[in-house]
Amino acid sequence: SAVISQKPSRDICQRGTSLTIQCQVDSQVTMMFWYRQQPGQSLTLIATANQGSEATYESGFVIDKFPISRPNLTFSTLTVSNMSPEDSSIYLCSAPAGEEGETQYFGPGTRLLVL
């Protein structure tokens, strides 16, 4: 299994500002993922973060809005840039671990409110 922590756990931000979310895994993992969960909705994958290469973004998400860093095999950051109220969501990071790496483990999430 894997234990994943995120910082901050929650934040309230003003529109037009940026917030960087940190994700730390207690073991080395090849792939890390960032998801967004809008209020009352399911999870949507933002991007895949691999160490040593650019993040791969899903349709509808762009690097300028959600820049991602992956400096090593246990850490990643997601920045939400030039925020608007529509960015108010829970942001979760995850990583596959365990037997054959099939299981995704999730961080507790970062609850973001943009005013």
- Which parts of this chain interact with other proteins (CB under 8 A)? 31, 33, 35, 41-45, 48, 92, 94, 96, 100-109
Q: Closer to other proteins at the Cβ: 56 or 84?
A: 56
Where b means 16+ CB within 10 Å and e means fewer, 68-107 reads: bebeebbbbbbebbebeeebbbbbbbbbbbeeeeeeebbb
Q: Closer to other proteins at the Cβ: 19 or 31?
A: 31
Q: Closer to other proteins at the Cβ: 30 or 84?
A: 30
Say how many C-beta atoms besides its own lie within 10 A of residue 4's C-beta: 23
Task: Find the radius of gyration of the CA atoms of the chain.
Answer: 13
Is the bond preceding residue 39 a cis peptide, omega within 30 degrees? no
Shortest distance (Å) from residue 16 CB to other proteins: 28
Shortest distance (Å) from residue 108 CB to other proteins: 4
Shortest distance (Å) from residue 101 CB to other proteins: 7
Shortest distance (Å) from residue 59 CB to other proteins: 10
Q: CB–CB of 90/35 below 8 Å? A: no
Q: Closer to other proteins at the Cβ: 14 or 100?
A: 100
